[in-house]
Chain A
Amino acid sequence: MPAPNGSNADPYDVAIIGAGVVGCAIARRFTLEGARVALIEKAADILDGASKANSAILHTAFDAPTDSLEHACIRDGYREYMDIHRQLGLPLERCGAHVVAWNEEEVAGLEGILHQAHDSGIEDVQIIDASVLRDREPSLSTTALAAISVPGECIIDPWSAPYVYLTQALENGAEVFCGHEVKSGQFDGETWQLETSKAHINCRSVINCAGLYGDRIDQNLLGASGFTITPRKGQFVVYDKAASGLIESVILPVPSARTKGIVVFRTVFGNLVVGPTAEDQQSRHDASTDEETLRMLMKSGETKLPDLKQIPVTAVYAGLRPASEFKDYQIENHTDKNWITVGGIRSTGLSSALGIAHYVYEKYAESGNKHACIKSPLIPQANRLAERASRDWESEQAGEIVCHCELVTRREVEQALSGPLGAKSLQGLKRQTRVTMGRCQGFYCSARLAELTADQFDLPLSEGINDE
């Protein structure tokens, strides 16, 4: 069995289990603080669990309970994203959100949301009447009665953000081990020896960011878990880019206790999305879609935005949120075991990841761990995939365009296939480049992609007809 840092080699300061958005943000934070980091991911590509499908919104936390850890982490994560997105080349559209009341009961609920937002220190949130709402969102159904305006809500790129967090960690000394499933581990009072499906990895501390499998990792390696994951499935419908002109802001419903409800939102890639549902289930990997639910989502979207009826569906997807029996995040510092569990990050992980990373580093430092932070860290640039960014195909040396719907160049594909985070699956390549994610879903470019990715993927897209 190959040993990345063999049993005699210097252990890593920290091994992070799980390369979702939270794991990537923690890898970045710990690296910048001076720790030697290993990030371990069981899938071939990063962001393959809960982080592969979400609503790509950077939340202000206007509706999170003010005394919760979730609230604190979202606020802090939001602040840091605002600070760093320009230097890392990450997109941000400050489009704002409207919590729209569609009946009198919901109108009555707006006051409570307003007070909670103000209590959170988000002062620019206000109630607007139907006519102001109509001025701002003229395509919205005229049955809207009133709304809460939340100017600070933003849309971002849900994949380029964690990619660049991790890239920054890697460029400043961290290491990533994809395709390594953590099977077991031994702690001798000072050092953990983790056994993955491919190697031993030694480290002083472990941070469990295993998302949908967070409770299982705690059970297997610590002997018990303080929470149980009950995956919550969310299905989404993505409409053609022609729909993105129909709204400017994120259209939120008045939320229930369990879920934020069905949202209508634009993406930075220029699509319009309706979703998610909130379906509790036992399976931790079954993110299947069903026609009845998708039609319900379409109907919900078309009721709020009648012009959607004329616009074709581009894609559908579903994601699993790692919800637990607790409403709040479950971040636990097992100081006797040099182990921090980061669990139950149910739906706001993209917004809070940078904040969680700060919080977890504080806990880690409180346990007596000290490093000298990197003075001038290397600053990588994220892939420029947002519709309103300047894209590679627009540059003078663009070269071949491979995917015509999303205008992805051959150069972008080849870059995404190389380096320490080189895509090992079509899913990974999609997240890094957007190939095949447009309206034709690969009708035009699958053949060229099969050719360009030959010998690159663990499960190849194709084989030569004459190869035997």
Chain B
Amino acid sequence: MMSSQADREIDVLVIGGGPAGLSAATRLKQLGIRHVLVLDREPVAGGIPRHCGHPPFGMREFKRVMTGPSYAAKLIDTALKAGVEIRTSTTVTALKPGGHLLIADHHGVSELSAKRIIYATGVRETPRSARLIPGSRPGGILNTGALQSMVYLKQRRPFKLPVIIGSELVSFSAIQTCRHAGIKVQAMIEANPRITARRPVGLFAKLSGVPVYTDTHIIRVEGKNRVEALIVKTAGKDPLRIDCDGLIVSGKFTPESSLARCGHLEIDPATSGPRVDQFGRCSDPVYFAAGNILRPVETAGWSWKEGWQIAQFVADDLAGVATAHDTAIHVFSHDALIQYVMPQLISSPDSKPGFDHLQLRFTGPAKGRLYALQNEKIIWSKTVNSLPERRIQIPVSSLRTNSHSAIELKFEPRVST
């Protein structure tokens, strides 16, 4: 076990060198924090954008349209120039109370400690198994992320005639990846009555000549060693056999929060990420979280912005000017239509602002009115008309009352007349 004097002096250690982590680290250096270390388990930092070989990235951060790999390179370059230390091929294997980490690299296991830790390990897609997709379990079934790293980082393709499951933004990104790699997408399958991504993207599928089947569920995967076909059924129609040699299981993102789950940080069951207050602070106040670990899933640019904000909170905290940790008000929802709310805690009325907004999403289409209640009184409400996978925001300032009681979010669907 190594624990040298130099390592003890790490001010902020960032776990994960994606957009949120690199942004937070860069900003911390700009704010005068001395030793900022980013750990990334991949051989090269940059996170998911490294293997998204297509635009648009970087509009918010660098005011121009970039591909994922050039955006990732620019993030690294900016961080290094700011004085951030980046250590790659380094895996954090456990989080311990008080800011102590177990890490593994090419030389085995050691320990690192820092005054503050920023947890920024991002999201991944839910695999086929956890979605309980029925049928045989042959080779050739991948998430979009795995496909993209194969295509863009290794110049390899796992199949030639796949079907895409899901119709989120990333599902359309998968179509672009396939076109780049000479892979012909056979179909796109969506269980809901309409595609999940926004309209212009849907048109892109049509223009790409990919048949899109909405309101369609999977009966089974067929194939022994390799995928041979997908049997699907569209509502009101006969089952359909789509011959294919692979499946791209896309979307349904989930925070990669296993370190917290297997460690001491509290998990919010709704986001699957760590429970945080409006400063991104976790249940152990030495730990902060930034980017898509907080909730599934926002763009790289949004995660970058959160990293930037969290850096400011962490710097304040190190300077001893942040809000105390024990005065927070719980925000919760038991509404089946409300997928999650983040942060789950907001600090007392007299504190610094932190995040400007609560973020939430709906599990399905939602038309009606969203309420925030405290002590059974409505303290805020808003009319919403939202599709799933759309971000809804509630200004934190509108929830500031003199009470410390928990705030409940409720949704009342509009009754059609």
A190 at the interface (CB under 8 A from B): no
Q: A398 contacts B107, CB within 8 Å?
A: yes
Residues of B in contact with A, size category: 35 or more
Q: B157 contacts A396, CB within 8 Å?
A: no
Q: B136 contacts A286, CB within 8 Å?
A: yes
Q: B258 contacts A242, CB within 8 Å?
A: yes
Q: A441 contacts B158, CB within 8 Å?
A: no
Expressed in whole angstroms, the Cα–Cα distance for A94 and B106 within the complex equals: 33
Question: A289-B134, A407-B93, A439-B258 given as contacts; is B127 within 8 A of A465 (CB)?
Answer: no
Q: A442 contacts B127, CB within 8 Å?
A: yes
Question: A394-B109, A426-B139, A447-B154 given as contacts; is B104 within 8 A of A441 (CB)?
Answer: no
Question: A398-B104, A462-B156, A465-B156 given as contacts; is B224 within 8 A of A285 (CB)?
Answer: yes
Which of B57-65, B143-151, B208-216 has 4 or more CB atoms under 8 Å from chain A? B143-151
Within 8 Å CB of B417, what residues of A?
Answer: none
Q: B41 contacts A241, CB within 8 Å?
A: no
Residue-wise interface mask of B (151-194) relative to A, using a CB-CB cutoff of 8 A (1 in contact, 0 not): 10111111000000000000000000000011000000000000
Q: B262 contacts A463, CB within 8 Å?
A: no
Q: A447 contacts B153, CB within 8 Å?
A: yes
Residue-wise interface mask of A (397-431) relative to B, using a CB-CB cutoff of 8 A (1 in contact, 0 not): 11111001101000000000000000001100000
Q: A288 contacts B135, CB within 8 Å?
A: yes
A290 at the interface (CB under 8 A from B): yes
How far is the CB of A367 from the nearest CB of chain B, in Å?
38
Q: B41 contacts A440, CB within 8 Å?
A: no
B236 at the interface (CB under 8 A from A): no
Within 8 Å CB of A287, what residues of B?
Answer: 136-137
Residues of B246-295 at the interface with A, using a CB-CB cut-off of 8 Å, are 254, 256, 258, 261-262, 267, 269, 272
Within 8 Å CB of B139, what residues of A?
Answer: 425-426, 459, 461
Expressed in whole angstroms, the Cα–Cα distance for A238 and B129 within the complex equals: 9
Name the residue in B133, B154, B254, B256 with the highest tally of chain A Cβ atoms < 10 Å from its Cβ. Answer: B154
* Interface Cβ pair total, 8 Å cutoff: 147
Residue-wise interface mask of B (117-149) relative to A, using a CB-CB cutoff of 8 A (1 in contact, 0 not): 000000011011110111111010011011001
B416 at the interface (CB under 8 A from A): no
Partner of A312, one of B91, B130, B155: B130
Residue-wise interface mask of A (7-18) relative to B, using a CB-CB cutoff of 8 A (1 in contact, 0 not): 000000000000
Partner of B91, one of A404, A450, A462: A404
How far is the CB of A425 from the nearest CB of chain B, in Å?
7
**A286 to chain B: closest residue by CB:** B136
**A241 to chain B: closest residue by CB:** B262
**B127 to chain A: closest residue by CB:** A441
Q: B136 contacts A466, CB within 8 Å?
A: no
Residue-wise interface mask of A (295-334) relative to B, using a CB-CB cutoff of 8 A (1 in contact, 0 not): 1000000000000001111111110000000000000000
Expressed in whole angstroms, the Cα–Cα distance for A404 and B121 within the complex equals: 12
B220 at the interface (CB under 8 A from A): yes
A294 at the interface (CB under 8 A from B): yes
Within 8 Å CB of B146, what residues of A?
Answer: 442-444, 446-447
Specify the main secondary structure of chain A where it touches its partner. loop
Within 8 Å CB of A443, what residues of B?
Answer: 124-125, 127, 143, 145-146
Q: A446 contacts B258, CB within 8 Å?
A: no
Residues of A in contact with B, size category: 35 or more
B327 at the interface (CB under 8 A from A): no
Q: A461 contacts B158, CB within 8 Å?
A: yes
B5 at the interface (CB under 8 A from A): no
Q: B108 contacts A395, CB within 8 Å?
A: yes
Partner of A240, one of B41, B134, B157, B261: B261
Within 8 Å CB of A279, what residues of B?
Answer: none
How far is the CB of A393 from the nearest CB of chain B, in Å?
5
Q: A405 contacts B91, CB within 8 Å?
A: no
Partner of B156, one of A315, A398, A447: A447
Within 8 Å CB of B149, what residues of A?
Answer: 444, 446-448
Within 8 Å CB of A405, what residues of B?
Answer: 258
Expressed in whole angstroms, the Cα–Cα distance for A444 and B220 within the complex equals: 25
A291 at the interface (CB under 8 A from B): yes
Q: A316 contacts B132, CB within 8 Å?
A: yes
Partner of B137, one of A317, A400, A450, A463: A317
Expressed in whole angstroms, the Cα–Cα distance for A50 and B134 within the complex equals: 20
Partner of B256, one of A315, A401, A440: A440
How far is the CB of B136 from the nearest CB of chain A, in Å?
5
Q: A295 contacts B132, CB within 8 Å?
A: yes
Q: B41 contacts A313, CB within 8 Å?
A: no
Q: A288 contacts B41, CB within 8 Å?
A: no
Q: A446 contacts B107, CB within 8 Å?
A: no
A451 at the interface (CB under 8 A from B): yes
Q: B156 contacts A451, CB within 8 Å?
A: yes
Residues of A140-154 at the interface with B, using a CB-CB cut-off of 8 Å, are none
A223 at the interface (CB under 8 A from B): no
Expressed in whole angstroms, the Cα–Cα distance for A241 and B139 within the complex equals: 24
Within 8 Å CB of B132, what residues of A?
Answer: 289, 291, 294-295, 313, 316
Residue-wise interface mask of A (434-468) relative to B, using a CB-CB cutoff of 8 A (1 in contact, 0 not): 00000111111011101100100001011111100
Residue-wise interface mask of B (21-43) relative to A, using a CB-CB cutoff of 8 A (1 in contact, 0 not): 00000000000000000000101
B226 at the interface (CB under 8 A from A): yes
Residues of B226-253 at the interface with A, using a CB-CB cut-off of 8 Å, are 226
Expressed in whole angstroms, the Cα–Cα distance for A153 and B3 within the complex equals: 41
Within 8 Å CB of A289, what residues of B?
Answer: 132, 134-135, 137
How far is the CB of A319 from the nearest CB of chain B, in Å?
11
Within 8 Å CB of B261, what residues of A?
Answer: 240, 242, 311
Q: A444 contacts B150, CB within 8 Å?
A: no
Q: A450 contacts B136, CB within 8 Å?
A: no
B402 at the interface (CB under 8 A from A): no
Within 8 Å CB of B4, what residues of A?
Answer: none
Within 8 Å CB of A446, what residues of B?
Answer: 142, 146, 149-150, 158
Expressed in whole angstroms, the Cα–Cα distance for A439 and B39 within the complex equals: 21
Q: B272 contacts A465, CB within 8 Å?
A: no
B405 at the interface (CB under 8 A from A): no
Expressed in whole angstroms, the Cα–Cα distance for A285 and B153 within the complex equals: 36
Q: B157 contacts A288, CB within 8 Å?
A: no
Q: B220 contacts A288, CB within 8 Å?
A: yes
**A410 to chain B: closest residue by CB:** B106
**A458 to chain B: closest residue by CB:** B225
Within 8 Å CB of A439, what residues of B?
Answer: 258
Within 8 Å CB of A466, what residues of B?
Answer: 155
Within 8 Å CB of B104, what residues of A?
Answer: 393-394, 398, 401, 407
Partner of A463, one of B129, B156, B225, B256: B156
Partner of A404, one of B41, B108, B125, B134: B41
Expressed in whole angstroms, the Cα–Cα distance for A439 and B155 within the complex equals: 25
**A298 to chain B: closest residue by CB:** B132
Name the residue in B124, B221, B224 with the highest tally of chain A Cβ atoms < 10 Å from its Cβ. Answer: B124
Residue-wise interface mask of A (269-291) relative to B, using a CB-CB cutoff of 8 A (1 in contact, 0 not): 00000000000000001111111
Within 8 Å CB of A242, what residues of B?
Answer: 258, 261-262
A and B contact pairs by CB, cutoff 8 A, 16 listed = A287-B136, A288-B136, A288-B221, A289-B137, A313-B132, A394-B104, A394-B108, A407-B93, A441-B129, A442-B146, A443-B125, A446-B142, A446-B146, A446-B158, A451-B156, A459-B139
For the A-B complex with A398-B105, A459-B225, A462-B158 known, give 11 more contacts whose Cβ atoms are closer than 8 Å: A288-B135, A294-B132, A313-B129, A393-B104, A400-B106, A440-B124, A442-B143, A443-B146, A446-B142, A465-B157, A466-B155
7 closest Cβ pairs, A-B complex: A441-B127, A447-B149, A446-B146, A462-B156, A447-B150, A242-B261, A396-B108
